[in-house]
Structure 1
Amino acid sequence: MPFYRNIFLNSLKISWRNKYLWFFGIFASFLSTSGGYETILSAINGDRMNYFPGINGFSEAGLFHSGTISNIQIIISNGSAGDIAQVLFVVLLITGLSLFLAWVSVVSQVAIVSESVSMRKAKITEVEGEDNIKRSLVVGKKYFWKVFGLNVLARIVLGTFFTVISILVISQIGTHDSFLFELFFVIMYVLFIALTLSISFIAKYSIAFVIVKNKNIVDSVKLALNLFVKNWIISLELAFMLFSLNFVVGLIVMFATMVAIIPFYFFSMLVYQVMGFLGFSLIAIPSLIIILLGVTVAGAILTCFQISSWAGLFLELTSRSEKKSKIMRVAESIKK
C-alpha cells in the first residue's frame, strides 16, 4: 500500500473508531497542532499574539487592555475590601482556568500520540475496554512537563524569529528603492515561512521522541533535528497534504453548517410568528447548540486525525527501512 495512504488510512480508522479520543481532540486543538499553518497565517495577518492563542483570547476579551489594568489598579488602591476580593477572585479564576486549559491541552496531545502509536505498534485500529480515558490520562500526566516545555520552547523560538525578522524589515523601510525593499521583504518572508515550518516539524518529532522513546527534552530536540534534516521533504509533503485536507474539510463543515442553519432559521421564524420570542428561543437555542456540537466534534476528529498522522509518520521514519519522498520516487520513475 502506498506510503502516505497507509498513514492516512490508519489515522482515519483510529480517529473514527476510538471515540474516546474525540474528548482529547477537543482540547488538543487549543495547541494549534496543524503543522505551523496557524503561525504562517499569523504572519500574513501581522498578529504576533497568535503565537500564544490563550493569551490572544484574553487580549481580545479586553483583559490586558490598558483601561482594564488601570481600573484594577484604581480598585485595589481606593476600593473596599469587598471590591478587592472580587478582583482577586476574578484574577485567580482566570489564572486557574488558563492553567487547567494548558494542562488538559498538553495531556490530550500526549494521549492522542501515545494511543495512536500503541495501536499502530499492535497493528490494530481500535482499543476495547472501559478504562481508555483513564489510561490515556495517566500517560498524559507522565509526560506533561516535558511536552509542555517543548510546546513553550517552540512558541518562544517562533516568536523570536518573527520579532527579529520584523525588526530587520522595519529597519530597511525607506533605506532602499522600492524594488530592493520588496525583494528584501520577499526573501525575509520566505525565510520566516521556512523557519516556521522547520521549528514546527522539529517540535512534533521532539514530542514523539519524548512519548515514544522516553527521551528528555535536550535529547529529543537533538534527535528530532537530525530526523527532520534527513526527511525534510517527506515532512513537507505530509504537511501539504494535511493542509489541503484541512482546507477541504473546513469548506465542507462551513457548507454543512450553512445548510443546517437555513431550515432551523425559517422554522424558528415561523414559530416566532405563532408563539413569539419564547417559541423562537425554544427552537433557536437548541438548534444552535446542536450545530456547535457538530462543529466541535468535527474539529476534534480532524485534530485526532492530524496528530495521529504525524505519529504514524514518526514511526515510519524511525523504522529501520529508509523512506523516500513522493517527489524522489516520481523522479526515479521518470529516470527509468
Structure 2
Amino acid sequence: MHKFLVEISAGQNPKKMNNQINYIAIIKEAWQITWKNKYLWWFGLFVALSGGIGSNFSSGWKKENGWEEDAKQKISDWAALYWEWLVLGLILLILLMIVFSILNVWGRSALVVSLGRITAKEPVQEPMNFKAGMKEGKKFFWPILGLNLFLFGIGAATLIILGTPIAILFYLKAYWTGVFLASGGLIIFILLVILFSFLQKFGIIYLILGKVSFWSAFENAYALFRRNFWPSIIMGIIFIPLGLLAGLAALAFILAVLLIFLIPGLLAYFLMGKWAIIALIILGMLILIAGILAINSVYAVLAQTIWILFFRQIALPKEEEKVVEVIKEIKPAEITEVVA
C-alpha cells in the first residue's frame, strides 16, 4: 500500500518526471494487455453501458405555427389518456439507469482490480478471470460509489453557487453583466470538471490498488495531480485522437452494416413485402447496437489500462541512482625544517 504514497511525500520534480514518460510505449503496452485479456471486455461493457444513456431533445415549436400547436395538443391529449403507461415507462427508465449505474461502478472496480494484478509485473498465486474480477471488484463497490457521489455533490454545489447570481442578473434584466459572469462561471466550471475527472481516475486507483481510506485516496489523488500537472494534462490530451479513432471505427462499422443490409433489404421489400424489411431492419439494429457496444467496451478497457500504466509511472517510487563518492586519501603534510 505504501509504495503508492512514496512519491507524493517525496515531491519529485515534474519536469524530470515528464521527460521519463514514454506516452507511446504506454499506449502500445495498454493495447497489448487489452487484446490479450479479452475477458476484460465484459468489464468494459459494464462501464460502457451507462455511458450511452441520455437523450437530447430540442424543440423548434413557435406559437405562430398552427400545426405545431395542434401537435402539442395531440401529445397532451395522448399523455392524459395513457398517463399510466407514461409513469410506468418513467419508472422503468429510472430503474434501468440505476441498474446500469451499479454495473458501471462494479465493472469499473473489477476492471481496475484485474488490471492492477496484470500490470503489477509480479507473480500472483491465482490468475485473474471474469469471476475472480467480479468477486474482488465487489469489495470496492461502496468506496467507489462514495467517491463518485462526493465529487458529483461538489460539482452540483459549485454549479448552484455559480449559477444562482447569474440567474438573478438575468431575472433583473442585467444582461451584459449576466453574460460576463456566465462566461467566467463557465470557464471555472470547465476547469473544475477537468480537475474532478483526474481526481476520480486517480482516486479510484488509490482506493483499489493502494487500499487506502476514502479521504486518503482523495487527498493523494489531488496531491498526485498537483505534482504531475502537465504530464496528466498531456495524457488527457492524447485521449482526444484516441477517442476520434474509436469514433471512426464505430462509424466505419455502421457504414459497413448499412451497405451489407442495403441490397438484401431492397430485395426483401420487393419480393416478400414490408414484414421482411421490418425483420431485416430489426436484425440490422441489433447488430449495430452489439457492434457499437463492443467497440465502446474495448475502448473502455484500453482507456483504463492506459491510466493505470500512467499512474504507475508517476506514483510508484523510482529506483534511486547509486551515487558513488570517491574520496581521495589526504596524505599528512610533510614538516620541513626552516633554516634560519
Kindly indicate whether the alpha-carbon contact (under 8 Å) linking 1:117 and 1:312 is maintained by their aligned counterparts in 2: no
Return the alpha-carbon distance in structure 2 between the equivalents of residues 88 and 295 of structure 1.
Answer: 28
Q: TM-score, normalised by structure 1?
A: 0.71
Q: Which residue of 1 aligns with 2:117?
A: 118
Q: How many residues align?
A: 281
RMSD: 3.7
The question of 1:6 aligning with 2:63 is answered no
Q: Which residue of 1 aligns with 2:242?
A: 245
Distance 1:10 1:168, change over 3 A: farther
Kindly indicate whether the alpha-carbon contact (under 8 Å) linking 2:110 and 2:137 is maintained by their aligned counterparts in 1: yes
Q: Which residue of 2 aligns with 1:47?
A: none
Offset at 1:280? 2.0
The question of 1:287 aligning with 2:263 is answered no
Offset at 1:267? 2.1
- What one-letter code is carried by the residue in structure 2 that aligns with 1:101? F
Which structure has the bigger radius of gyration? 2
Name structure 2 gaps, 5 residues minimum. 1-19, 59-75, 320-340
Q: Which residue of 2 aligns with 1:218?
A: 215
Return the alpha-carbon distance in structure 1 between the equivalents of residues 78 and 144 of structure 2.
Answer: 33
Q: Which residue of 2 aligns with 1:21?
A: 40
Return the alpha-carbon distance in structure 1 between the equivalents of residues 247 and 317 of structure 2.
Answer: 36
Kindly indicate whether the alpha-carbon contact (under 8 Å) linking 1:110 and 1:143 is maintained by their aligned counterparts in 2: yes
Q: In the TM superposition, what whole-angstrom CA distance separates every residue of 1:97-142 from its partner, at most 9, and x where no partner exists?
A: 5543332211100111122221111279xxx97x711100111111
Identity of aligned residues (%): 21
Structural mapping, 1:1-336, within 5 Å: 3-30=22-49, 32=51, 91=91, 97-122=96-121, 132-173=129-170, 178=176, 182-321=179-318
Distance 1:212 1:262, change over 3 A: same
Distance 1:12 1:273, change over 3 A: same
| Larger displacement relative to structure 2 (297-306 or 244-253) | 244-253
Offset at 1:177? 7.4
| Larger displacement relative to structure 2 (245-254 or 277-286) | 277-286
| Larger displacement relative to structure 2 (239-248 or 250-259) | 250-259
Offset at 1:160? 1.9
Return the alpha-carbon distance in structure 1 between the equivalents of residues 28 and 44 of structure 2.
Answer: 18
Q: TM-score, normalised by structure 2?
A: 0.71
Offset at 1:71? 9.6
Distance 1:89 1:194, change over 3 A: closer
The structure richer in helix per residue is 1
- What one-letter code is carried by the residue in structure 2 that aligns with 1:284? I
Q: Which residue of 2 aligns with 1:331?
A: none
Offset at 1:176? 6.0
Q: In the TM superposition, what whole-angstrom CA distance separates every residue of 1:211-264 from its partner, at most 9, and x where no partner exists?
A: 001111111111111111111222211111113311232133224312431341
Return the alpha-carbon distance in structure 2 between the equivalents of residues 108 and 233 of structure 1.
Answer: 29
